[in-house]
Chain A
Amino acid sequence: MNKAAINFVLNGQEKALEVDANRRLVDLLRDDLGLTGVKLGCGEGECGACTVIINGQTANSCLVLAAQVDGTEIITIEGLGDHDHLHPLQEAFIEEGAVQCGFCTPGMILSAKALLDHNPNPGKAEIMDSLSGNLCRCTGYTKIVNAVENVIRQSNAKGS
């Protein structure tokens, strides 16, 4: 088996690595780079727990070879905020109680972020559709959707 050279930007930092041809992006991020906010759930693109943003679009990192990300820009949950400066979506998820076990949360927040980056003022149907690739077995989704709506409301209030 050969190795592939990859250069990419991860949460704002340039990375130059050699990866095994059969390494999945999710394993590279979690096991080699220690970004365990990327969760591995089903491993077949059904649950969305491993969601990352690649070039502005969400992707299941379990369905991407590490070798495929050469030349891309990747954002994981670790790239959104830190303990002292949370991203507005992270604040809203806490305030609204949209986190229970927390396993789906990084993926949910990244899917919501990708939506708001493209469309700052989506309706409820668009929010639900953007989260349709992320499963949550705890919350019933209501509080998650509420949290996203709260962020939109707050940013509209700030803007006007």
Chain B
Amino acid sequence: MNTFDYYRAATLVEAFALMRDKTNYTLLAGGTDLLVKFNEKIMNPKIVLDLGLIKDMREIHFEGIGQVTLGALVTHTQVMESQILQKYAPALVKASSMVGSPQIRNRGTIGGNICNASPAADTVPALIALGAQIELTNEKQVRVIPLEELFLGPGRTVLQTGEILTKISLKALKPDQGSGFEKLGKRKALAISVVNTGVFIEVDSKTRAINEARIALGSVAPTPIRIKKAESLLLGKVLSPTLLKDVASVVASEIKPIDDIRSKAEYRRDVAGELVKRAVEEAWNKASFLG
């Protein structure tokens, strides 16, 4: 590991003061991705600014207006244990539970998983499906953008110098809405996803037709992506095996996977359709009026 200066902020105000007039800093949350990159000299920061002690960025809240907010420093373990998220954002709970290992989930944060901007990040397709908006805060102002607009490419985001991802907000699921998440890795633990997908649907309680749908995938393009063509195929229809098959084939034709160390493009196309099928079924089954 190369040398760097380390600073620790106990509050956001302190963090912004430390960031002022600096451009060559790296923000540190849990460290489960960054320490690997530091150690292997893939990243060689001059200044490391540790946000880990900022308490109010570690909280999960149900806001009462049907909104759930997560501080960026909430860990995957916190997500898994949160009764609020189990009830209102089950796809996210499932995604966090499939990240890395217990050791990684205890330290790794949602904000870190997002800002690391890996195309294979597990929580991101789940969050996009759940309609996540993120707060990017600098010393003077806060801007809110949809999560899917954050990513520019592998490891690259629109986060500007002086900004911190502070908060993620989701609309709490209602009884006629459901979410699903599926991941395929080489094994159950400590596997970077070959393909992952998060799905949200809202079902009309009388006609059982799908009113709203979001389908997001990871590891099939330079950034996590939504497949809007597959989403619109679901709208106005009742779920059926034929519809699922059609959705799967649209997904397979819309994604742009590559061959890499974990898998081949061709295999990814095949499994992406199948995983989306399963996640849509899961979301459909969870829309509680059916139960």
Neighbour of B107 across the interface among A1, A22, A59, A114, CB < 8 A: A59
State whether B77 touches A22 (Cβ < 8 A). no
State whether B106 touches A44 (Cβ < 8 A). no
Contacts of A44 in B (CB 8 A): 36, 39-40
State whether A65 touches B35 (Cβ < 8 A). yes
B289 within 8 A of A: no
CB distance from B290 to the nearest CB of A (A): 27
The stretch from A28-36, A85-93, A127-135 touching chain B is A127-135
CB distance from B82 to the nearest CB of A (A): 15
Contacts of B4 in A (CB 8 A): 1, 21-22
- Which B residues from 107 to 160 make CB contacts under 8 A with A? 107
If A4-B8, A68-B52 touch, whether A60 touches B1 (CB-CB below 8 Å) is no
- Which B residues from 16 to 30 make CB contacts under 8 A with A? 28
Neighbour of A51 across the interface among B35, B48, B77, B103, CB < 8 A: B103
CB distance from A47 to the nearest CB of B (A): 9
Neighbour of B31 across the interface among A1, A63, A129, CB < 8 A: A63
State whether A133 touches B3 (Cβ < 8 A). no
A21 to B4 alpha-carbon distance, docked (Å): 6
A67 within 8 A of B: yes
If A2-B5, A45-B32, A70-B8 touch, whether A58 touches B50 (CB-CB below 8 Å) is no
A57 within 8 A of B: yes
A43 within 8 A of B: yes
B9 within 8 A of A: no
CB distance from A48 to the nearest CB of B (A): 6
Contacts of A62 in B (CB 8 A): 35, 39
Q: Give the most central of B6, B39, B53, B189: most A CB within 10 Å.
A: B6
If A57-B77, A68-B52 touch, whether A133 touches B100 (CB-CB below 8 Å) is yes
State whether A63 touches B35 (Cβ < 8 A). yes
State whether A58 touches B103 (Cβ < 8 A). yes
A129 to B4 alpha-carbon distance, docked (Å): 36
A95 within 8 A of B: no
A138 within 8 A of B: no
State whether B6 touches A65 (Cβ < 8 A). yes
Nearest residue (CB) in A for B37 is: A44
Neighbour of A133 across the interface among B8, B35, B103, CB < 8 A: B103
A71 to B100 alpha-carbon distance, docked (Å): 26
State whether B31 touches A48 (Cβ < 8 A). no
B-side residues, CB < 8 A to A, are 1-6, 8, 28, 31-32, 35-36, 38-40, 48, 50, 52-53, 77, 100-104, 106-107, 188-190
Q: What are 24 contact pairs spanning A and B, CB under 8 A? A: A1-B4, A2-B5, A21-B6, A21-B48, A22-B6, A24-B1, A24-B39, A43-B39, A44-B40, A45-B32, A45-B35, A45-B36, A45-B101, A45-B190, A48-B101, A51-B103, A59-B103, A62-B35, A64-B31, A65-B6, A67-B6, A132-B101, A132-B102, A132-B188
